[in-house]
Amino acid sequence: MKNTQELLNILTLEDIGDNNYNGISKDIGSPSVFGGQVLAQSLNAAYRTVSEKRTLHSLHSYFLEAGDLDLPITYNVQIIRDGGSFSTRRVTAFQKDKTIFILACSFHKKEKGYEHQMPIKKDIKQPEELFSWTDMLNQFGDFLPKKLKYFLSIERPIDFKPVQVVNPMDAKDLPPVVDVWFKIKGDVVNLTLAQKQQILTYISDYNILTACLNPNASVANFGNTQMASLDHSMWFYRDFDFSDWLLFSIESPSAFGARGFACGNIYTREGVLVASVAQEGLMRAIKK
């Protein structure tokens, strides 16, 4: 995938009737279906059954089985409730007869209310000062571990610019913090709020578990650790656009028992809080 339109083509499902939808998968450099893709496709299915006057405000999900890249995914939407202000949906994703993912999500009509938000970090480096993943590949590709080099070489519809650049050849423990600027490629002018939320959900599964790995980076890395998303939750606050860079600011309060937990906030460059994310992931040392 090279741009926003190609990403939307993957996220937009085929309606096969009775609140069932089919989707295909795209390889992003991992052996199984990318969790962000399943999340975003599930939202696409849920949005098809909800009034246009209601927008997503929260989702909660579990990854049950690794998805097969070669098989289509069928998403079944259950209409749980349509109340006076909120609509609730449950989405179950299948491959053949196997359930691989479940999602519960809630939609809210537009209302006015009290407001506050946590501020963006002060004095954080701006994207113009930073290397993108592509820049890192071009500059340091010959020195990178083979697995990391391959991952960075995959063409994506998103540019990522990490604020904290880690030298993979200098193994040392790091703070449980990751800040990453990101921007999508291609035309973003006519995106609906539903499409923007689906794209943001897709992106939110990138980078987040890195914060869990950092405090043990002297001995643990993506090459010797089995990592996978176990659950994923998001809360959406305000409308936004993708015309400029957004910041995903992540921290990991804890890792224990082969699981790591991370949470983060997504901001516009101006410091408007758009969404919050929480995820627990598998962090299992690979035994040689």
Candidate list 195, 229, 252, 276, residue with the active-site label: 229
CA nearest neighbour of 266 among 117, 140, 157, 79: 117
Whether the CB-CB separation of 177 and 211 falls below 8 Å is answered with: yes
Whether the CB-CB separation of 263 and 253 falls below 8 Å is answered with: yes
Rounded Cα–Cα distance for residues 198 and 4 (Å): 12
Rounded Cα–Cα distance for residues 126 and 18 (Å): 47
CA angle, 174 then 281 then 253, to 5°? 45
Polymer length of the chain = 288
**Dihedral Cα 223, 225, 229, 231, nearest 10 deg:** -160
Candidate list 95, 132, 205, 249, residue with the active-site label: 205
Judge whether 229 counts as a catalytic residue. yes
Q: Other CB atoms closer than 10 Å to residue 275's CB: what's the count? A: 23
Rounded Cα–Cα distance for residues 105 and 212 (Å): 26
Whether the CB-CB separation of 11 and 202 falls below 8 Å is answered with: yes
Judge whether 205 counts as a catalytic residue. yes
Candidate list 42, 106, 249, 279, residue with the active-site label: 279
Which residues, including other chains, have CB under 8 Å from residue 122's CB and lie 6 or more apart?
none
Q: Residues with catalytic annotation? A: 205, 229, 279
